[in-house]
Structure 1
Amino acid sequence: MATNDLQAAQSDLIVGIDLGTTNSLVAIVDAHGPRVLGDDDAQVMPSVVRVERDGSFVVGQAAADRMVELPERTINSVKRLMGRSIRDAQGDLAYLGYQVVEGEHDTARVRIETDDGERVYAPQELSAVILRELKQRAESALGHPVEKAVVTVPAYFDDAQRQATRDAGRLAGLEVVRIVNEPTAAALAYGIGTRGEGKSQTIAVYDLGGGTF
């Protein structure tokens, strides 16, 4: 393949990201079908971020491993706060070990103590840390930059929550070209490889997730 053709193919590449409440992953569909990118023993990544005392981030399994030990600085289930007001998120706060405070326009924010003092993060900033790690996993597996993604969200996400997801992608260096409802994505995945069989089917999708039932 010529260099220009290769660059064009790379620029057209769009990965799929499941930004889950509990776990996340990144995948592509190529000539061999859909496949999850990452190490064979670590394709699914816990959606967990730890903010260290120096303000740096630890993400994924390494963060989850110390969640019980460091609950006040380990952020899990941040997806529950995306695009929501502090009032709307009240029902979820009892299940979170870190501090959630009111930010601008009544939005939910995460407050963490660091060596430089108190830091307050928007949920999309922390989701961006997860997305950035998934982006790096994809780039490592594919051997070239990844700039575009389709991201799945719960079917109940409203416009504010969907926009927050797009904002998280932008902060992670990704253009979110489309937001797809998780049950819709499952139905589409079921149909991969079955087109052209000439028969109509009715399927049901049962979505049993960490934050959706």
Structure 2
Amino acid sequence: MAENAEVFVHALGACESDTVGSGTRVWAFAHVLKGAVVGRDCNVCDGAYVETGAVVGDRVTIKNQVMIFDGVTVEDDVFLGPGVTFTNDLNPRARIKRHGDALLPTLVRSGATLGARVTVVCGTTIGADAFVGAGAVVTADVPDRAFVVGNPARRIGWACDCGLRLPDAPDGRPACRCGRRWATVGDRLEPVG
């Protein structure tokens, strides 16, 4: 059980980790295993699972039924929609138990959003402030601020820091409805001003 008195664990939730930050809430039927790291002010919703060896940053939203396995690192301010699933073994077999270096690490950079039922194949990095649309299957790295959808996930545009998809701009300088301005530089999106 989490030692930190500032961690809320629902009566029907389980938190075996001693490394959970203050202000974090673990709801009914969620399970945070011993050896998992969960940062401050996170919301671990019903039925979520955070395995030993997983690392979750601060202010992360882990919606219902999210599965975060050993080798997955989720940085600060990430949103994981309902049913997001990470893998950690590229060639799983029930009769072979892989651990440690035999598992491929996955990284979700700060500010990224993964929509409902996204599947992330191990060994990939999802860039900062990227937006992965509901139901996508991520099989390759996703650039910072990319807006990706589909199976396999492919970039169809760019995402603003506010989360909105940026409109196509023939001059390569999209402006968001929130007022932020951007410029595409090769295969990157950079803020303007």
TM-score over 0.5 (shorter chain)? no
Which protein is richer in helix relative to its size? 1
TM-score by length of 2: 0.26
TM-score by length of 1: 0.24
Decide which structure has the larger Cα Rg and report it: 1
